[in-house]
C-alpha cells in the first residue's frame, strides 16, 4: 500500500551521503545509544495534514546508533491514510554528531512512478537533493531545491528534522530566520516537489517546569516556531538535542510526543 506522503513522512522529515553506502552499519563499528517511539495525536481524533492526504494514528519507532561519523537512525513508521487503511514503512537516516538530520532513505514507492523506491534525500546547507530510486536508471528522478536559510521538514512530520531546526538560534528572545519544507507529489511530471516557506524560530529558554514525557522528567529547552503552514508551534528539546514534544495549539490541536524512550549510552 502507498500513500501520497508515505515516502516523506518524517516529520520530517528535517537531512544522503553520495559516497557512503546507506547499508547503515555494515562493515562499521556502531554502538546502540537509544531507542524510542513518537506518536502524533490530534484533538477529537481528527486527521492531520492537508485534507486530501491527511494521516491518522501516526507512530514512529526508532533505534539510534553512534558511529564514527555521527549517528545512524533506523525505524518504522505506521499510520492510517485514509482512516482505517494501515501503512507501515521502514526508514533509515544519518545524523551529524549534534543530532542534525543529514540524510534519509524511505523504503516506499512514489505515487506517480511505479519504478521507484527507496526514496533518498540529502539535506545540505544550501540545497535539498532527492533521488526517487529505480531498477531501471532511465526511470530515476533526481531533483534539487536551493535553500538560503537553515531549514527542516514541517510536513510530513519529522521529529529529528524539527529538533535540528533549533540549532538556528541560541539567544533567548532573538528570532532567527529559517525555512520550513513540505514535500509533495503532484504528478508524473512533478513526482517530488518541495514547497518552501520562510519563518522564524525563537529560543524561549530552559523550562523551569518539569516536562514529563515517556514516563521521565525533563528540563527541556523550549522554542517557538512561526511559519505560514503551522502559524505557531512550540518545540521542547532535551539538552542533548532530542525532540521531546512539538505542538501546534490552533484547532484542531496537534502534538507529536516522545512516548517511549530507553537510553543505553550517553549521546
| Enclosing domain of residue 243 | 11-263
Q: Which of 121, 127, 130 is nearest to 150 (CA)?
A: 127
Among 74-83, 160-169, 237-246, the minimum mean pLDDT is found in: 74-83
State the pLDDT at residue 259. Answer: 96
Tell whether the model's pLDDT for residue 3 goes beyond 50.
Answer: no
CB atoms within 10 A of CB 174: 10
State the pLDDT at residue 155. Answer: 67
Percent of the chain exceeding pLDDT 90 equals 52
State the pLDDT at residue 82. Answer: 65
For the segment 164-178, the average pLDDT, to the nearest whole number, is 88
Answer yes or no: is 5 within a domain: no
State the pLDDT at residue 45. Answer: 58
Q: How confident is the model at residue 28 (pLDDT cuts 50, 70, 90)?
A: low
For residue 158, count CB atoms less than 10 angstroms from its CB and return exposed for 0-12, middle for 13-18, buried for 19 or more.
Answer: buried
Where is pLDDT greater, at 251 or 26? Answer: 251
Answer yes or no: is 139 within a domain: yes
Percent of the chain exceeding pLDDT 70 equals 82
On average, the pLDDT of the chain sits at 83
State the pLDDT at residue 231. Answer: 85
Answer yes or no: is 6 within a domain: no
Q: Which of 226, 236, 233, 237 is nearest to 249 (CA)?
A: 233
Answer yes or no: is 26 within a domain: yes
Residues 156 and 180: their CA atoms lie apart, in Å, by 11
Answer yes or no: is 1 within a domain: no
Answer yes or no: is 3 within a domain: no
For the segment 86-96, the average pLDDT, to the nearest whole number, is 88
Residues 186 and 193: their CA atoms lie apart, in Å, by 7
State the pLDDT at residue 18. Answer: 30
Count of domains for the chain: 1
Tell whether the model's pLDDT for residue 11 goes beyond 50.
Answer: no
For the segment 77-86, the average pLDDT, to the nearest whole number, is 75
Answer yes or no: is 182 within a domain: yes
Answer yes or no: is 2 within a domain: no
Query: What's the pLDDT tens digit per position in 185-229?
Result: 888 888 888 899 999 999 999 988 889 999 999 999 999 999 987
State the pLDDT at residue 19. Answer: 30
Amino acid at each position: 500500500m502507498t500513500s501520497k506522503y508515505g515516502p516523506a513522512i518524517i516529520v520530517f522529515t528535517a537531512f544522503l551521503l553520495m559516497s557512503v553506502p546507506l547499508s547503515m552499519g555494515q562493515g562499521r563499528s556502531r554502538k546502540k545509544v537509544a531507542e524510542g517511539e513518537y506518536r502524533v495525536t490530534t484533538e477529537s481524533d481528527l486527521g492531520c495534514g492537508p485534507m486530501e492526504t491527511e494521516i491518522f494514528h501516526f507512530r514512529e519507532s526508532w533505534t539510534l546508533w553512534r558511529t564514527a561519523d555521527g549517528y545512524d537512525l533506523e525505524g518504522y513508521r505506521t499510520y492510517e491514510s485514509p482512516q482505517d487503511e494501515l501503512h507501515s514503512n521502514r526508514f533509515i537516516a544519518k545524523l551529524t554528531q549534534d543530532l542534525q538530520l543529514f540524510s534519509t532513505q524511505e523504503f516506499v514507492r512514489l505515487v506517480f512512478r511505479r519504478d521507484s523506491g527507496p526514496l533518498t534525500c540529502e539535506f545540505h546547507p544550501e540545497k535539498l537533493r532527492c533521488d526517487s530510486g529505480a531498477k531501471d536508471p532511465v526511470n530515476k528522478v533526481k531533483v534539487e531545491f536551493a535553500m538560503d536559510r537553515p531549514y527542516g521538514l514541517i510536513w510530513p512530520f519529522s521529529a529529528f528534522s524539527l529538533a535540528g531546526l533549533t540549532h538556528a538560534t541560541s539567544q533567548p528572545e532573538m528570532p532567527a530566520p529559517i525555512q520550513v519544507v513540505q514535500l509533495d507529489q503532484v504528478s508524473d511530471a512533478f513526482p517530488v516537489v518541495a514547497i518552501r516557506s520562510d519563518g522564524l524560530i525563537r529560543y524561549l529558554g530552559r523550562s523551569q517546569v518539569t516536562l514529563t514525557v515517556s514516563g521521565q522528567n525533563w528540563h527541556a529547552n523550549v522554542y517557538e516556531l512561526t511559519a505560514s503552514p503551522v502559524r505557531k508551534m512550540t518545540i521542547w528539546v532535551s539538552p542533548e538535542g532530542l525532540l521531546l514534544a512539538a505542538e501546534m495549539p490552533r484547532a484542531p490541536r496537534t502534538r507529536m510526543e516522545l512516548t517511549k524512550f530507553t537510553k543505553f549510552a550517553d549521546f
